[in-house]
């Protein structure tokens, strides 16, 4: 259709419906299609198109040229290429754990992909206190396969360098550099800190030079350490789940960075779910059971990651130098160190910085929210400062439980 | 001229002379040009073209599609683009310290540059026991300007990422990964170790797992740490000198790697000059004076680098995170750690690996050569193993002098 082949424009629902008809071999000719824009992010348009007769459906995701809230905030539409190519690669490395890509259109900066409407966003599901017994199994397979198999220890060194080049992602890396590594660590005007928490951040983080120095080291490692092709934004809002299935979406922040970045993001966001449940669930037994499941899941993710990483290393690493005695343990240990650091960074930045998480902002009682934020920041600082000593699932849980025990519950209205 | 605009071919002296006439505004029309191929490397053709009347001259450097010794060894001609673009950038960052580029021709994979025939290759000059009082001043300016000013602490982060992309250099990085980081650390068939030294390498390096583990860590850092736009092959054969001038040539191995790589290469190759002079100069006073100058130069390079680095940091670093108290010291200290490590790697690989240095191979007495190689390898291991504690010029000199004192002079024929 000529309409979509001459120049880029942002599509309406009607355009997207027309566009869907151009995808070969998907919908029958003259299918009764309906289209709905379901995007809730700030940068992209997401259209769901369904055939009313067969119920067959697909998703069209189009990158906007500017942020949806303000056209002052220019964005590169190249992120749609990065997302599409990364989803295709991830589907080879970790089959079944990402949505399938049907089509990519460079001119329109859009991709057509599998509809996952039968899944639910993990963050939302956790706020409904649902459990997902297979999640730790699935996410650790995704993490090991995408992180280890794209690194220099497995991949042909020349192939790895061409991937580094292909996934240079300056615009989206800049967002992480600013929002994760810079703004949360001083009284920046872009921060949107809960007023009650500000004095705590000032006293505990912003005025602690030794702590801030550690965040600076991590920032420059994030920018220079081209270790693995990471997802780059692997919070619980980038994960679709059912009890049987896990699908990781939205890798538009992907680039070659520290492997621990993705793992740390998963862990920190499970901790946010924990802080939410701890503050909000009133029934003692329900709360204990749910926190126990979250604790078990966090612990399992670290320990299963380490186990599967080691097994995958034995299977895939043929690089002679990487097989020197002690190197696999050194390498895994450096990933776990970075995991602890990023867990801490994500905890701090989601409380202090521009982009908050519903797990915290939906805590209704102000004192409980304040307590949850103090716990998050205290833990965050601990994870960053003590990153070299936090290695096992139990080490991560110890930071969580000991910090919670330390921060006194405040008077509440409940 | 049509001849040079249709397809790539490797030029003869006659072709290069014709090619030189096509460079605009350099030679007068009908100038009496003469051309000589003066390349002594293995990968490129280097033509010097001179106008016999005016004595004006230029250099044409063409990348061959295969190594000159064997057409089995395929090379990417893209290295000529990398070399040209890097020389242009280095001339902006460190004016006067690299040859000027007059012209680049992508089709012919050649560049036309300033003739430096009035200069001498530093390695050769050092083997003639010449001194260059301005060398430490010049080389440290080059190192600080090219390394610090291309790093994330100074450069706009997006601009840095586009440079990373532009200087992805898989083929030439592979050579360093193999020849510097892999083959010297086991009994590899590609090594060309002096037979008398082999037992020593076996006992001291190849059978020491803890030491080999350190070399593996360094190898993966070399591949992943995109810190600075480095020269990548900064030995004394890549440096042209006169008493007044220093010109750094041949950056075809350039890519974003650890800043310490370049500094370590300079230091190690000065140590080779030291080992040569120590073995070959027979006159006691001449020897003492020459070793003293080399010692002073090595010490000055480390200490001047640190001083100028700190001054340049104060002038150029505006990144707020990089200005946290303690970060500049941490960053410099990590570069010096990598410098010590690469000094050690270069010492080992030039003695054990495929590519030797004339400083060692020209030592005529076998026992003296064996002793020089043992000193080099012992120092190499020490620099690698103790890299975190070697920070000042004096620290580097202490490794040199204490190792020499430890390795007993053998019976010699002199």
Residue B376 maps to a domain:
yes
Check if the beta carbon of residue B352 is closer than 8 Å to that of residue B184.
yes
pLDDT at A109 over 70: yes
Scan residues 254-313 of B and list those with Cβ closer than 8 Å to A: none
Structure token pair of residue B270: 């000065």
Q: What is the ipTM of this complex?
A: 0.94
- Quote the pLDDT of residue B67: 66
- Quote the pLDDT of residue A4: 86
Residue A414 maps to a domain:
no
Most A CBs within 10 Å: which of B155, B162, B164, as the mutation test of the A interface?
B164
Check if the beta carbon of residue A341 is closer than 8 Å to that of residue A363.
no
Q: Does A213 touch chain B (CB under 8 A)?
A: yes
The residues near B80 (Cβ < 8 Å, ≥ 6 apart) are B44, B61, B62, B63, B104, B109, B110, B111, B252
Residue B169 maps to a domain:
yes
Q: What is the CATH number of the domain that holds A293?
A: 3.90.1200.10
Most B CBs within 10 Å: which of A151, A156, A223, as the mutation test of the B interface?
A223
Domain boundary among A113, A132, A167: A113
Nearest CA in chain A to B259: A224
Residue B412 maps to a domain:
no
The residues near B72 (Cβ < 8 Å, ≥ 6 apart) are B66
Q: Does B73 touch chain A (CB under 8 A)?
A: no
| Gap from A91 CA to chain B (nearest CA, Å) | 24
Check if the beta carbon of residue B265 is closer than 8 Å to that of residue B125.
no
Both A75 and A172 in a single domain? Answer: no
Check if the beta carbon of residue A328 is closer than 8 Å to that of residue A322.
yes
Both A46 and A126 in a single domain? Answer: no
Query: Strand (E) positions, B273-355?
Result: none
Q: Cα angle at A315 between A312 and A317, to 5 degrees?
A: 90
| Gap from B179 CA to chain A (nearest CA, Å) | 13
Q: What is the CATH number of the domain that holds B75?
A: 3.30.200.20
Nearest CA in chain A to B221: A225
In chain B, which residues have their Cβ closer than 8 Å to the Cβ of A209?
Answer: 324-326
Both B267 and B126 in a single domain? Answer: yes
Q: Kindly report, residue by residue over A129-146, the tens digit of the pLDDT.
A: 999 999 999 999 999 999
Residue A16 maps to a domain:
yes
Both B93 and B154 in a single domain? Answer: no
pLDDT at A311 over 70: yes
- Quote the pLDDT of residue B191: 96
Residue A270 maps to a domain:
yes
pLDDT at A414 over 70: no
Q: With an 8 Å Cβ cutoff, are B209 and A157 in contact?
A: no
> What mean pLDDT comes out for the span A200-212?
98
The residues near A235 (Cβ < 8 Å, ≥ 6 apart) are A123, A265, A266, A268, A269, A346, A357
Average per-residue pLDDT in chain A? 94
Both A102 and A180 in a single domain? Answer: no
Residue B387 maps to a domain:
yes
Q: With an 8 Å Cβ cutoff, are A227 and B224 in contact?
A: yes
Domain boundary among B87, B113, B139: B113
Give me the DSSP letters along A391-411. Answer: -SHHHHHHHHHHHHHHSPPPP
| Gap from B219 CA to chain A (nearest CA, Å) | 8
Contacts across the A-B interface (CB distance below 8 Å):
106
Both A213 and A316 in a single domain? Answer: yes
**How many residues are there in chain B?**
414
Tally of domains within chain A? 2
In chain B, which residues have their Cβ closer than 8 Å to the Cβ of A217?
Answer: 327, 330
- Quote the pLDDT of residue A390: 98
Both A219 and A320 in a single domain? Answer: yes
Both A322 and A400 in a single domain? Answer: yes
Domain boundary among A113, A144, A160: A113
Domain residues for the domain of B299 are 120-406
Nearest CA in chain B to A188: B320
Both B54 and B134 in a single domain? Answer: no
CB contact burial A96-134 (16+ within 10 A = b; e otherwise): ebbbbbbbbbeebbbbbbbbbeebbbbbebbbebeebee
Scan residues 162-201 of A and list those with Cβ closer than 8 Å to B: 162, 164-165, 168-171, 173-174, 177, 181-182, 185-186
CA dihedral A370, A374, A375, A376 (to 10 degrees): 100
Eight-class DSSP state of B253: G
Residue B413 maps to a domain:
no
Both A275 and A396 in a single domain? Answer: yes
Confidence band for A68, pLDDT divided at 50, 70 and 90: low
Q: With an 8 Å Cβ cutoff, are B165 and A168 in contact?
A: yes
Nearest CA in chain B to A184: B321
Both B33 and B106 in a single domain? Answer: yes
> What mean pLDDT comes out for the span A260-265?
98
- pLDDT one digit per residue (tens) for chain B, 414 residues: 578 888 899 999 999 999 999 998 999 989 999 999 998 777 889 999 999 999 999 999 998 887 665 565 566 678 899 999 999 999 999 999 999 999 999 999 999 999 999 999 999 999 999 999 999 999 999 999 999 999 999 999 999 999 999 999 999 999 999 999 999 999 999 999 999 999 999 999 999 999 999 999 999 999 999 999 999 999 999 999 999 999 999 999 999 999 999 999 999 999 999 999 999 999 999 999 999 999 999 999 999 999 999 999 999 999 999 999 999 999 999 999 999 999 999 999 999 999 999 999 999 999 999 999 999 999 999 999 999 999 999 999 999 999 999 987 765 444
Q: With an 8 Å Cβ cutoff, are B227 and A227 in contact?
A: no
Both B339 and B375 in a single domain? Answer: yes
| Gap from B88 CA to chain A (nearest CA, Å) | 22
């Amino acid at each position: 259709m000529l309409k979509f082949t001459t120049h880029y424009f942002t599509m309406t629902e009607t355009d997207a419906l027309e566009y869907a008809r151009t995808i070969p071999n998907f919908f029958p000719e003259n299918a009764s299609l309906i289209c709905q824009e379901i995007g809730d992010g700030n940068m992209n348009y997401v259209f769901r198109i369904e055939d009313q007769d067969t119920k067959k459906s697909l998703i069209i995701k189009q990158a906007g040229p500017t942020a949806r809230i303000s056209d002052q905030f220019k964005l590169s539409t190249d992120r749609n290429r990065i997302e599409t190519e990364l989803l295709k690669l991830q589907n080879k490395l970790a089959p079944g754990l990402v949505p399938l890509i049907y089509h990519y259109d460079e001119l329109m900066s859009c991709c057509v992909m599998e509809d996952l409407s039968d899944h639910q966003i993990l963050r939302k599901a956790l706020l409904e206190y649902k459990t997902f017994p297979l999640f730790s199994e699935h996410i650790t397979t995704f993490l090991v396969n995408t992180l280890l198999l794209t690194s220099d220890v497995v991949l042909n060194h020349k192939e790895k360098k061409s991937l580094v080049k292909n996934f240079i992602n300056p615009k989206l890396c800049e967002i992480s550099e600013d929002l994760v590594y810079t703004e949360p660590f001083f009284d920046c005007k872009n921060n949107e800190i809960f007023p009650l928490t500000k004095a705590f951040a000032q006293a505990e983080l912003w005025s602690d030079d030794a702590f801030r120095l550690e965040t600076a080291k991590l920032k420059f490692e994030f920018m220079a350490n081209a270790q693995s092709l990471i997802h780059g934004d692997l919070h619980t809002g980038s994960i679709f789940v059912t009890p049987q299935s896990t699908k990781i979406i939205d890798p538009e922040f992907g680039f070659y960075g520290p492997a621990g970045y993705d793992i740390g993001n998963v862990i920190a966001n499970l901790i946010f779910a924990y802080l939410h449940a701890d503050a909000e669930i009133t029934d003692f037994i329900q709360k204990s059971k749910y926190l126990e499941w979250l604790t078990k899941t966090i612990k399992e993710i670290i320990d299963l990651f380490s186990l599967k990483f080691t097994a995958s290393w034995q299977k895939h690493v043929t690089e002679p130098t990487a097989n020197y005695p002690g190197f696999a343990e050194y390498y895994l240990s450096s990933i776990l160190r970075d995991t602890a650091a990023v867990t801490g960074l994500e905890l701090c930045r989601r409380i202090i910085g521009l982009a908050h998480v519903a797990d915290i902002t939906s805590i209704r009682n102000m004192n409980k929210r304040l307590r949850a934020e103090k716990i998050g920041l205290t833990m965050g600082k601990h994870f960053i400062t003590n990153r070299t000593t936090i290695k096992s699932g139990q080490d991560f849980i110890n930071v969580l439980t000991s910090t919670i025990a330390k921060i006194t519950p405040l008077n509440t209205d409940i």
